[in-house]
Structure 1
Amino acid sequence: MLSIIPGNKVSELDSSYILDQGITSWDLMERAAISFCSWFKGRKNFEDKPVFIFSGPGNNGGDGVAIARILAAFHLEVNLIVFDAIDHCSKDFQINYKKLPSTVKVFKIEDFDFRIDVHAVIIDGIFGVGINRPLEGKFKEAIDRLNTFDCQKIAIDIPSGIPADGLLQGSAFRADYTVTFQFPKLSLLFPEHGEYTGEIFVADIGIQDNFLEKFASGKYFIQQRDMRPLHKTFHKFSHKGDFGKVLLIGGSKGKVGAMVLASTAALRTGSGLVHGFIDESERIILQTAAPEVMVAFKEELENLAKFDAIGIGPGWGLNVDLKFYESLLKNYKKPIVIDADGINLLASHPDLIQNIPQGSILTPHIKEFERLTGNVSNHVERLQKAKDFAVEYGLFLVLKGAYTSISCPDGKQFFNSSGNQYMATAGSGDVLTGMITSFLGQGYTPLNATICGVFHHGLAGELASFENKRGTIASDIIKCIPKTYLELGID
């Protein structure tokens, strides 16, 4: 998985890699520019459109100049706007500037009239990860003006104005796309920056994962290529017992739909046997809506050890016998998945938390998380609280949302790359609960069950939304779970 390197270590990483590979800093910049242009040329919506590249005096600007040269070779109309005298710019900026073909039109920012057609493409190469203060002067003026244009806008590595690891102060370039090099910068994953980053693409510039790890800070980005090694394999003699027997607990009166979604998702994820323990008055609904799910009775809960995994919370309600909840936590000796009202009950009765089995998985959305740990003012603080909670209690905490984060008992944090905005629909979280419980029941480690559950859930949402867009509902996500295995090439 890709290590997410802190912004203050990126320069050190680049210098070390250049020395290790026996290349120059210009060579590495060229790789970045080629990777960017390869992505650019692969998108039909940029075809034959005039390009306006705004390049600051540093190496992010140098990337912009190199991109100008390469795009000009594709016979595009390329305009380069620079902010400082060339001999005041970085060394690699100057090298790339000397290589520019005569077809690239160069303007000083003071002389540029900002006549940019709505069909043009604007590329931001003004500042990179090194910025740690609000924009000012001609840079702020230019970015504020560019943000008024309706044409397509792309940021190189990170939108100018946003710090690599912290929160934006002041203005920043509002991009429709951000093409970031080798790994996503942490701040690109913050919800506060969503309106600036647009769609994020990670462009490979050839730095190997094991080299990135030397500069890692315990944060990782989960990609599709990471998934196959995490999965267990089964053979033709495998039977339903090998695929796990799971128990889901929830579904108070009027809320059994959450259990239908969670249990059906568990089956679609591959569970061999799924039991549901719900309010007695609702059992006929579960058996009718999901005939493959077996309704569990109280006597079956007297021997919890027969279940390979347990998930608690979907549609459970808050009028729960707390002694029953406490007994579940105390008597089950393996990790448990806890969601929704299972988490809300922990928030209102924090003495229960100490009874949760080590390695269990909590899956709150942001509001549930804040009920559990207290209010936060921003995502930086939220991620720190999630990490502290996971370490303190020896649990995995899945903070749901865009780039869902997984905080681990050892302090590591993983960020998911799959999923989209169309998954923001009632029941989507119940589907995730069923999926993670299923993987846990199939014998996956808690970490692998969590990563696989989160990634497959996001991918199923993407597949469901191809056709349904804003009309995507939770049951659409469930229908697409089997397709995720096909997409990943997993038997």
Structure 2
Amino acid sequence: MSCISDSNASEEAKLLDKFKNVIPQMGGDRYKGQAGRVGVIGGSIEYTGAPYFAAITALKVGCDLAHVFCAKEAAPVIKSYSPELIVHPLLDSENALDLIVPWIPRLHSLVIGPGLGRDPKILETVTSIINYCGNQNDIKPIVIDADGLFLVTQNPKVIQGYPHGLVLTPNAIEFSRLAKTVLNVSWEPTPNPDPERVQKLAAALGHKVVILHKGATDVISGSENSLKSVVCTIGGSGRRCGGQGDLLSGSLGTFICWEVMRNINCPTKDESLQTGVLASYAACRLTRLCNEKAVKKNGRSTLTTDMLNEIHSSFTELFGE
């Protein structure tokens, strides 16, 4: 765990307080869907756990509905994990875009990449989905992780100019690959991200892009150079289990849709943070606390399924009910 200065702790406490104002209140006058409908695009025959972790986390942190758009062979497996998820076996269909597009207006945010795989035809479909969302008037924030980042590294233009808020969540290796493509620099992967480098890459990617560089500390920077980077140092442990990043991206999928809803409905919204930065920070804190709690109970045996069991207590501790 990193050492935390008093100034960092104070700044992080302020960010937590800001996010508490973003969370929709529960009440008997609300109807299903008002707390968010999140779509996860990913899931292949090799990787079925990742989209499940992302989608079930989106539900557990408080969205109302979670959809998974996956390859046909992955669907029965993902469905077997949980009856809570709405699973669409469409991603590898011949007319996948035509089948998926009618669902997009019903969703408040998309999480692209968990378990996606690297099939060229599927990546082409995902590119078309991003382009479609970018050409619509309704605000559709996107979180891109895992093999979604591979897609962006191969073709950065797919996200440049995206108008509705977009967060990339690279780890150290993914960040270095992306920097090599976009900036033509060779930065060695490091567990302690450099805020200046993160902001430089975000600025190069441009309009509305936020980068959440995961590491021993998490660094979040928007493309707007006038706004400083946010650093998350609190929580976490020395145990990094497979699937933990999917918990982060799934919670972020819900949090960013809440942030966008708040910005639309609040005429006095906070202009000091680019859209996606606050949601990213909240997702980092939640993931780190889930990890810390799970490791205290399970030690080296900790799995992401153990972290899922800590979501409610961690959410309540950080944000209240």
> Match of 1:21?
none
Provide TM-score, normalisation by structure 2: 0.79
Alpha-carbon contact 2:113-2:145 (below 8 Å) kept: yes
How big is each residue's C-alpha offset from its partner over 1:185-235, in whole Å with a ceiling of 9 and x where there is no partner? xxxxxxxxxxxxxxxxx6xxxxxx7xxxxxxxxxxx524x64133122313
**Within 1, Cα distance between the matches of 2:80 and 2:198?**
39
Alpha-carbon contact 2:294-2:310 (below 8 Å) kept: yes
Matched, 1:463 2:293: yes
Alpha carbon RMSD of aligned pairs, Å?
Answer: 2.4
Instruction: Select the structure of larger CA radius of gyration.
Output: 1
> Match of 2:218?
404
Provide TM-score, normalisation by structure 1: 0.53
Alpha-carbon contact 2:221-2:277 (below 8 Å) kept: no
**Within 1, Cα distance between the matches of 2:304 and 2:242?**
7
**Within 2, Cα distance between the matches of 1:481 and 1:293?**
17
Q: Higher relative CO (CA 8 A, sep ≥ 6), structure 1 or 2? A: 2
Matched, 1:227 2:27: no
> Match of 1:88?
none
How big is each residue's C-alpha offset from its partner over 1:388-429, in whole Å with a ceiling of 9 and x where there is no partner? 121232311000011111011223211112332344111111
**Within 2, Cα distance between the matches of 1:177 and 1:378?**
18
Matched, 1:341 2:176: no
Q: 1:336 deviation in Å?
A: 0.6
Q: Secondary structure at the match of 2:159?
A: helix
How has the CA–CA distance of structure 1 residues 177 and 285 changed in structure 2, closer, same or farther, with 3 Å as cutoff? closer
> Match of 1:359?
165
**Within 2, Cα distance between the matches of 1:314 and 1:378?**
21
Q: 1:489 deviation in Å?
A: 5.1
**Within 2, Cα distance between the matches of 1:178 and 1:391?**
28
How has the CA–CA distance of structure 1 residues 278 and 381 changed in structure 2, closer, same or farther, with 3 Å as cutoff? closer
> Match of 2:72?
280
Matched, 1:309 2:109: yes
> Match of 1:376?
187
Identify unmatched segments of 5+ residues in structure 2.
91-95, 135-139, 181-185, 263-274
Question: Superposition pairs for residues 112-191 of structure 1, below 5 Å?
Answer: 180=5, 182-184=6-8
Alpha-carbon contact 1:311-1:437 (below 8 Å) kept: yes
How has the CA–CA distance of structure 1 residues 417 and 436 changed in structure 2, closer, same or farther, with 3 Å as cutoff? same
Q: Secondary structure at the match of 1:246?
A: strand
Amino acid paired to 1:257: G
Q: 1:302 deviation in Å?
A: 3.1
> Match of 1:251?
43
Identify unmatched segments of 5+ residues in structure 1.
1-175, 185-201, 203-208, 210-220
Amino acid paired to 2:223: P
Matched, 1:441 2:257: yes
2:303 aligns with one of 465, 473, 476? 473
Question: Superposition pairs for residues 30-69 of structure 1, below 5 Å?
Answer: none
Tell me the percent identity: 27
Q: Secondary structure at the match of 1:454?
A: helix
Alpha-carbon contact 1:251-1:258 (below 8 Å) kept: yes
1:416 aligns with one of 224, 232, 236? 232
**Within 1, Cα distance between the matches of 2:193 and 2:255?**
30
Q: Secondary structure at the match of 2:31?
A: coil
